[in-house]
A and B are shown apart, each in its own frame.
Chain A
Amino acid sequence: MANILDIRRRIRSVINTRQITRAMKMISAARLRRAQERALAARPYAQMLTNVLKSLVSRADTYDQETGEPLHPLLVRRSEQNVLLIVVTGDKGLAGAFNANILKAATRFLDSKRGKNVEILAVGRKGRDFLRRRFRTAEPRTVEAGTTETGTTENRKADGTSESQVTLVGEHVGVLNKIDYSLASEISENVIKRYTHAEIDSVYLVYNEFKSVISQRIVVEQILPVEHIGAPEIAQASEMELKDKQRAIEAAKGAGVSLRPADTTEIDKAAAQFATAPVDYIYEQSPRQLFRSLLPKYVATQIFHALLESVAAEHAARMTAMESATTNAGDMIDSLTLSMNRVRQAKITREIIEIVSGAAAQQ
């Protein structure tokens, strides 16, 4: 049986661990709150942009009347040969199954695109590391510290090679803790350029969607071609499991994070009025020209939105994981304390027996 000193040492170490996990949980909760606020602050712009586009679609012909050809390159649908997948994970671990779940969804998506050329753009260190181990990496062109631009990989011939392959073509690492719109717009400009040059035929985004702590799912969203404005095409989705949901509820309660999605009705109402007043607008530019310049911004907004939600989800996942770790440490301390007491009691009993039997032997 272990001696008391050893057990006591272990208890002390577990107490220290619990202190750390508890602190990490509180930090994650604070960051989650901030991330939620940012996601909320980003809503009006996205809403308004969507609105204008929607109302423009009804005024401007987006498709040629005679030929039925789309009038904007981002609406053009081609047969899917070259696919770009943007994988948004976290930069750091210790967030439970957060990164693993996203990568699982990404892998499943890749399976469904077997036979096509898939290029991957990784956002977040964890996903990058995993994908780099699994797939071929295109010659990266480092642009700035921690950022690599999606290089135009070897220009494929128009007839296309039939063998399928998956290539990691770019990465954005270490950018998630200070995320801003310029990152999203950089990614989207790149993607749009390659799409209009027909280097890629479709663009998907896999990320963890975040409505609230208990309403999350991992989705694969189709970014290009743009199908329906305001209603992104979901190619694949997996909901949260009940067990995870319960753990998330407990963690959120302990950290004082609201479970309900923030109330956005007021913002949404105001945004919904944008550019849709029942009046005859003077259009400074033709609706068609407006549509042309707005559509790329819509793509950027969608990517920005995904990044913001992913960051919030990552903090929520870490908060939940750390809550579990803290609880587990508590349980461990209890059971170690119990066995320590047992050992101590056993030792005392043994000593008494020794004294008593020693005294008895004297008689």
Chain B
Amino acid sequence: MPDSFQLEIVTPEKLVVRDNAEEAQIPGANGYIGVLPGHAPLITELGAGEISYRSGGQLHRYATAWGFAEVLPDRVTVLAETVEPAEQIDVSRAQQSLTKAEDALKSAQTEEEVSNDLADVRRAQARIEVAENKNRSA
């Protein structure tokens, strides 16, 4: 069994990460998925949350809003609409957008509006969470 796998994170604009990882956690739409080398082939949609992986003992963390991932025994590819390294998240701005999204949700009328606003709220929450966790021990 190999002790690492190749991890790629791709956004519409560019290839963000290409690295060898020993383990990774991806925010599946139905809950977080932990990946170790040799994982069974899997395809999943990603929700708002944190993508983290360990490479050479170093923990890397990114916030994402929506994405899609393919897991293979030796390779994990993540298509993410946006990714943001945890260090670069502006917490106060994220807090603002959370308040805004929550207000919008309260006044939402149609089902469509509710689901859109709800997604905004989740996204803002995910960003705050990722940012606040940045000092979590590696």
Binding site for B on A (CB under 8 A): 38, 41-42, 44-46, 48-49, 52, 180-181, 184-185, 274-275, 277, 279-285, 289-290, 293-294, 297, 300-301, 304
Do B68 and A294 have beta carbons less than 8 Å apart? yes
Do A290 and B43 have beta carbons less than 8 Å apart? yes
- Supposing A49-B79, A294-B68 touch, asked if A42 and B41 sit within 8 A by C-beta, the answer is no
Contacts of A274 in B (CB 8 A): 70, 77
Q: Which size class do B's interface residues fall under? A: 20 to 34
Q: Nearest chain B CB to A301's CB is how many angstroms away?
A: 6
Q: Nearest chain A CB to B33's CB is how many angstroms away?
A: 8
Do B43 and A282 have beta carbons less than 8 Å apart? yes
Q: How far is the CA of A48 from the CA of B77 in the complex (A)?
A: 10
**Of B5-13, B90-98, B125-133, the one with at least 4 CB within 8 A of chain A:** B5-13
Contacts of B68 in A (CB 8 A): 49, 52, 290, 294
Beyond known contacts A45-B13, A290-B45: 20 more, CB 8 A cutoff: A41-B13, A41-B15, A48-B77, A49-B68, A181-B13, A275-B43, A279-B41, A281-B70, A282-B40, A282-B41, A283-B44, A284-B28, A284-B29, A284-B30, A284-B44, A285-B29, A285-B30, A289-B45, A293-B45, A304-B12
Binding site for A on B (CB under 8 A): 10-15, 28-30, 33, 40-45, 68, 70, 72, 77, 79, 81-82
Q: How far is the CA of A184 from the CA of B82 in the complex (A)?
A: 13
State the 4 A-B residue pairs at the shortest beta-carbon distance, nearest first. Answer: A284-B44, A41-B14, A181-B12, A279-B41
Contacts of B82 in A (CB 8 A): 181
Contacts of A181 in B (CB 8 A): 11-13, 81-82
Q: Nearest chain B CB to A175's CB is how many angstroms away?
A: 15
Nearest A residue to B73 via CB reads: A279
Q: How far is the CA of A275 from the CA of B42 in the complex (A)?
A: 9
Q: How far is the CA of A297 from the CA of B66 in the complex (A)?
A: 10
- Supposing A185-B81, A293-B45 touch, asked if A46 and B12 sit within 8 A by C-beta, the answer is yes
- Supposing A277-B41, A285-B29, A290-B43 touch, asked if A48 and B81 sit within 8 A by C-beta, the answer is no
Q: How far is the CA of A156 from the CA of B79 in the complex (A)?
A: 39
Nearest B residue to A59 via CB reads: B43
Nearest A residue to B72 via CB reads: A277
Q: How far is the CA of A189 from the CA of B15 in the complex (A)?
A: 24
Q: Nearest chain B CB to A156's CB is how many angstroms away?
A: 20
Nearest A residue to B43 via CB reads: A281
Do A42 and B13 have beta carbons less than 8 Å apart? yes
Q: How far is the CA of A44 from the CA of B13 in the complex (A)?
A: 9
Q: How far is the CA of A283 from the CA of B71 in the complex (A)?
A: 11
9 of the cross-chain contacts (CB-CB < 8 Å) are: A41-B14, A46-B12, A48-B10, A48-B79, A52-B68, A277-B41, A281-B43, A284-B33, A293-B45
Do B28 and A280 have beta carbons less than 8 Å apart? no
Nearest A residue to B42 via CB reads: A282
